[in-house]
Structures are given as structure tokens and as C-alpha cells.
Structure 1
Amino acid sequence: MKPWRIPVDDAAVDDLRARLGRVRWPDEINDPVWGWGVDQSYLRHVVDAWARFDWRRKADELNEVPQFMADVEGQQLHFLHIVGASEGAVAARVPLLLLHGWPGSFVELLSVVPSLTAAAASRGLVLDLVIPSLPGFGYSSRPTAPGTSPEVAARLFHTLMSGLGYSRYAVQGGDIGAGIAMRMGLREPGAVVGVHLNFASFLFEDGADEAPDGPGARYDARRQAWSREEGGYLHVHATRPQTLGYALADSPVGMAAWMVEKFHAWTDRSATGGAVPVGLDEILTNLSVYWFSETITSSMRMYKESAADPLVLSPRRRIEVPVGFSAFPHELPIQPRERLDQVANLVRWTDMPRGGHFAAMEAPDLLGEDIAQFLAGLPAVRS
């Protein structure tokens, strides 16, 4: 394990700007809700801003946060390590592993750090935050062969936390990170003191006694309807990510379109007049991490790995460590509370007033407060 800084290659920056300056734009058929795909006027706005984006300045800003590279089972794992400073009386120091998803990165989780640490401090908690890049994402190494599934990632991150000296720690995750967090709670009950989630997707077994019109059935219907309208990306990622990867790795505009669509479709735009409620600077930083690390293709492969090794939970195979959940109203379809309660030791469920899939960026105040309240209520933390 060694300190690490985000590198900036001037030739790569010049190459990106050149590519952004010679786009062959397609013609367009669309509607106000992007029903045919990404709105071209919005994408042109993103592309123009990206061409002017000062990546060196942004990388210097990100490098102010302590970053490291660790060799774990032959893979290089990039992570941020923010050790909390304690002032005055401290009830407990809590190591917390924060896990992102797709098309996010470690960048999205930086948005929740100020509100999270402040909310924890108000309860006498000092947090040691570990924020890694998932395998194949950002600056973690790209697996060179099949097999690095969310289950393997769970093992790697437990090894990372142990290597940092944390024998007991909490985990928080959304999207793919939520699946990894749930797996860590399932496989490492002696180390994981609690799991906080803002997304939940798993295969539910032993549902024969469910009512045909109950919450589980309604979720299944919503999921199927969502999959028909929004799930094209998911099917491609889970079946032929390599084919799509050739296009997205070569075209920054293609990559931006593929990812920006999700920031539009999966966020809570109810209070912004339809505008994406995530700052353009955050979006461009996230795009730049994927582009300069050349990990758009490897990140999509995680879906194929997950499809080959899905998370299956049931009342007989449940997560026994305490679990907390932040339910944001504009999140993708999530398993209902009634099912999660059967497969996990659900001690906290919070229905949020606003926010969507990118909760750390959309509603960092709400997410940070809910995580802190969950941590403060854990028996292992109180003791």
C-alpha cells in the first residue's frame, strides 16, 4: 500500500479536446422527455463545457484528499482514506467503507462527506472514511480475465479494510456498491457492524406465501415495466459489454451520451423544472475519471459478472448484521421493505422527501444525516 496521486497527461488532455472538437453529430428525432434518447442540445452543452474543462485543476483539487493504491490479491485497488480528526469527547470512532456504482465513481461519494462527517460529529462519532474505486472502475486495476464479480469485490474490500487495521467496520453503498455491501454483511458478520443502503436489488427466494397483489408482486411488475422502458443499457452490459466498449472507449461524446442519459433519467428533477439536479462540474469530473482512466469498458463488465453470480437472499439465507435503508422517491425500482425485512436484519428504514439514484450528489444532506443516525444506533458502536 502506498500513497498515490491522480496523474494528468497533457497529451491525453489535448487528445480529448481534439476529439470533442470534431464530432460527427447525428440527426435527431426526440421529444421533451428524451423519449428517443439524449437530447442533442443538452449533450452539445455538456460537450462544449467538457472541452473547456480544466482537468489539471480538478485533479489537483481531488489530490488534496489522501489517496492510496493497495495491492490486494494481485489487483491494484485505488482508494481515498479520510481519517477523522477528534476534538473533545468522542463516543466512538467508526471506520466506514463507502461504495459507489455505475455510472458513478469515487467522485460522487465525495459530495456526501461534509454532511456525513458533520452529522456524525453531532452525535459524538468520528468517522474514518474509506472510499475505493470498484475493480475495473476509475483508478483501480482492470481485471484481465473473467471472475471479478461483486462477490469477489466483497472479499477484496474486506481484505483492504483488514489491511488498514480495521477489524470492525461499517459499509454503505448504492447501485452496484449496494450489492457488494450486502454481500459483505452476509459473508463477514464478524467484521461488519452494520450495512447502510440506498439501493437494493437481489433475487428473492421462498416467496411462495406472498400475496399475488402484495408489495413483492407490485415491485416485480414495476421492475418489468422499468426494464422494458429503461433497461436496454442493463441488458447490453450484462451480455455484450465488450462490443459496446469499442465505441464508448473511442468516442468521448458517445461515452458522455451513454452516461449523461442516466443522470437525466435517474435523478429527481421535480424541483428543478426538469433540469438535471447534479452540478455540471460533478458530471464532467465523473466523465473525466472514466475517460482518462480508460475504464468505461471494464466498468460495464461488472454487470456481466453480476449476472453470472447474482445475489440470492431468502428467509433462510439472510443478512444478520444490522441493516439501514434510505428510500429515495425517484430511485430505480427497489425491492420493497416487506421483502428486505425477510432477508435482512432491517433496523432502520427512512422514506426520503426528495432525491433519486445519485443520492450522494442529489441529496447529500439527507443521505449523510440518515447514515449518521444509523451508525449512532448500532449496538456495536454504542458499546
Structure 2
Amino acid sequence: MNQFSDGGPLPKPVPFPVRVPEAELADLRERLDRMRLPEAETVPDDSQGIRLWQLATLLESWRDHDWRATESRINAIPHYRIFLDGLGIAFWHVRSPVPDARPLLLTHGWPGSVLEFESVLGPLSDPVAHGGSAQDAFHLVVPALPGFGFSERPSEPGWHPGRTARAWAELMTVLGYHHFGAHGGDWGACVSTELARIAPDRVTGLHLTMPLASPLPQDRLTPGPAELDALTKRDHHLAEGYGFAQAMGTQPQTIGYSLLDSPAGLAAWLGEKFEAYADTRPAVGGGVSLAQQVDHLALYWLTGTGASSARWYWEAMRWVPRGAEAENDQPVLAPTACSMFPADPWPTARRWAERRYLDLRRWRELDRGGHFPGLEQPRTLVSEIRAAFRVLRDEPAAAPV
């Protein structure tokens, strides 16, 4: 029995092929052809937000986008829907050809989607076919967060990371995975952390690219060089780059009207973060490509999830423990590994993370990549996940604290 169910019959997943009506694509094309854009910013940088030329380039790429090709890629991966706690949740389920592969749950964030993991599915599920070892094989479960992608949009309050974690636990039970690993970044890290916290007997390993651990006031008194850099970067982000979260965390319905009615509004709101949160240095790959950004724009637009995904911030900000002390009162006992990418706007020092993740077994700081490693550096993310779960599998558990 699922420890989070009411003891009744478990729900069943059903195949969920995607087919957007042609009329919706025609409506999008018509809107893209008659957009009204403002004048250019009055500064020579991005301090006022996404620059006019950047948005114009993104919109031009969207005009040329082939949604049917994206749709075919989505449908080429085993795609299902299941009702969990009264809500339809869409997910990919990719079983490895290796029978005893480890189950692994991958959870995305905002402004991402399940498409963040598209390029890593093959190497993680069938490593032998991609030059790896069968020991590194995973059965993969990739759900869309409530109100994202082809998951349903909640019609009632309460779908926060905690409720989602409980739903994910039920999903894994339905699929026959009593023990499993969990990976996530952004809100995916929040859901995965909460899942590991509430079900430590089930989550055999936790891999994060954005561990949820904040500095304490005393950390600012004695920071080393790396911690000082992390503090400076976090403070700058909160002061200059976090207005979007305040807007969605307080008035998601207000911004939602623009995200649902204007392709330019949606492109600016999401595209600004795809640019700001990525490692855009040409020498290391250039960040999130235009094609990848447009895939996400089209997915958000055609599923009508601009408002419902924004509402996730409103829900989470009323659920998430606030402040470092509150976080540390929510310790995680599951064995944990972290991969830190340099352009992520939420850097975390290992010392902060160790206070919350009490069995932190691997800490790796990379030299390239940002907030969207599955899009920016998929090979590196595959290597990091493989290496993390080798450690989490092979090392003995830490002594209880």
C-alpha cells in the first residue's frame, strides 16, 4: 500500500498521445504576425530586462518553429497520464533494457518543462548504447509539475511542493517502484528534497543541481573566498533579478493574463530567464539555444499554462519554510549528491548544505553550465547523475545524527 494513499485502489496510468488542434496553431501564427512591441530600452544593457533585439530574435525564431516536429518528439517517448489526488498528471516513463536498472524520478522547474530532460533520457536509460556501463542504467519517470505542460491546471489552491511530493510518491508506487532515486533543479529540487524528507525509507538517493540551503547570519561574519562569492551572487540576484518571483508569488493571476493572451509577453517573461540563468559563454556552448527556448514557449502557449505555472510561486511561497533556520528544521536524511553549475543564480556553499542534507556524500563544482544543465550541458548532467548514484549506491549509509 502507498504510505500516502487512503488505502483505496491505486490509479492507473493511460497512454496520453499529444495532438494540438490545427486551429490553435493557426491562432498562434496569426498572433505572432500582429504583435505590438514597445520601443527599445533606454540603457545599453539588460538592466531593464530582456532587450528589444533579443526578444525580436526570439519571436522571429518562434515564427519559424515547427510544433508538429516537437509534438512528434514528445510522442516518441512513452507518454502517459494518471490521476493523482484528483489531478491529471502527464509523465514520460522510459524503462531501461537493463532489467535491474535503478528507478529514477526527474523533476523540472520554471521556466522549464519535461523537455529539459529530453536529451538525457537515452544515455541514462540505455547507457550501453551510448558508450556507458549497464551498471549506470535507470528506469526513468519524468512528470510534468501540476499546472505545467500536459499536466492539468489545478482549479483549487493547495498544489504546492509538499502536495506534489506526496503525489510523486504515489506515482512511483503505481509504477511498481517502492525504492527509487530522485533528481531535480529549481522547483524540481524543492519537490525532490521534500520527497526525500517525507519518504527517507523510499528515496535511496537524492541528486540536486540547486540544493535548498541558505546561509545563516553568522555565515556572513566568517566567509571564505568561495562563500563570499556565493553570498555576493545570491544578494545581487535577490536585489536585481528576483522581481519576477515576487510578481508571481503575490499576483500570479495578474501576470497570467498577459502570459495567456500575448505570445510576446510569454516570450519576454520566459526568455529573459533562459538568458539570465544560463552560461551563455560561446566557448562553453552558448547557453539555452533559440530552438530549445522556442520549444518551451510553444509548450507553455499551446497548453495554456502561463498563469497556472506562475501560480506555482504563489503556492510555494505560502508553503516553503522561510529563512535558513526554518530550512534547517526540515533536515533530509536520504543520501545526497550535489552538482553545482557556475552560472546558476542560486549558488550554495557546501557548509550551508551540510546543515540540512545530513548525509551529503558528493559535492561537485563544475566549470561550465547554468540553471538548465539538461538543456545547456546534457552530457555533463548525464555524467554527474551517473557518478552521483555510483557514490550513493556504493558508500555505506552515514551514522544517524
Which residue is 1:17 aligned to? 29
Q: Is the 8 Å Cα contact of residues 202 and 335 (structure 1) preserved in structure 2?
A: yes
Identify which of 294, 300, 306 aligns with 1:290: 300
CA–CA distance in structure 2, aligned partners of residues 217 and 136 of structure 1: 37
Which residue is 1:107 aligned to? 115
Identical-pair percentage: 32
TM-score (norm 2): 0.88
Higher share in strand: 1
TM-score (norm 1): 0.92
Aligned-partner residue type, residue 307 of structure 1: M
Q: Do the aligned partners of residues 106 and 7 (structure 1) sit closer, same or farther apart at CA in structure 2, a change above 3 Å counting? A: same
TM-superposed CA distance for 1:342, in Å, is 1.4
Identify which of 287, 305, 320 aligns with 2:333: 320
Q: Which runs of 5+ in 2 are unaligned?
A: 1-12
Alignment of 1:195-234 (within 5 A): 195-202=206-213, 207=216, 210=219, 212-214=221-223, 219-234=230-245
CA–CA distance in structure 1, aligned partners of residues 177 and 164 of structure 2: 17
Q: Which runs of 5+ in 1 are unaligned?
A: none
Q: Is the 8 Å Cα contact of residues 95 and 138 (structure 2) preserved in structure 1?
A: yes
Alignment of 1:63-74 (within 5 A): 63-74=75-86
Q: Is the 8 Å Cα contact of residues 30 and 37 (structure 1) preserved in structure 2?
A: no
Which residue is 1:302 aligned to? 312
Alignment of 1:103-182 (within 5 A): 103-117=111-125, 121-122=132-133, 124-182=135-193
CA–CA distance in structure 2, aligned partners of residues 105 and 360 of structure 1: 11
Q: Do the aligned partners of residues 208 and 256 (structure 1) sit closer, same or farther apart at CA in structure 2, a change above 3 Å counting? A: closer
Which residue is 2:255 aligned to? 244
Q: Do the aligned partners of residues 35 and 162 (structure 1) sit closer, same or farther apart at CA in structure 2, a change above 3 Å counting? A: same
TM-superposed CA distance for 1:81, in Å, is 0.5
Q: Deviations over 1:246-278 (max 9, x none)?
A: 1111001110011111111111122359x9522
CA–CA distance in structure 1, aligned partners of residues 293 and 339 of structure 2: 23
Q: Is the 8 Å Cα contact of residues 115 and 369 (structure 1) preserved in structure 2?
A: no
Q: Do the aligned partners of residues 223 and 183 (structure 1) sit closer, same or farther apart at CA in structure 2, a change above 3 Å counting? A: same
Which residue is 1:342 aligned to? 355
Q: Is the 8 Å Cα contact of residues 287 and 369 (structure 2) preserved in structure 1?
A: no
TM-superposed CA distance for 1:224, in Å, is 2.8
CA–CA distance in structure 1, aligned partners of residues 274 and 60 of structure 2: 18
Q: Deviations over 1:262-300 (max 9, x none)?
A: 111111122359x95222221111111100100010001
Aligned-partner residue type, residue 112 of structure 1: V
Aligned residues: 375
Which residue is 1:332 aligned to? 345
1:369 pairs with 2:383:
yes
TM-superposed CA distance for 1:210, in Å, is 4.2
Q: Do the aligned partners of residues 305 and 116 (structure 1) sit closer, same or farther apart at CA in structure 2, a change above 3 Å counting? A: same
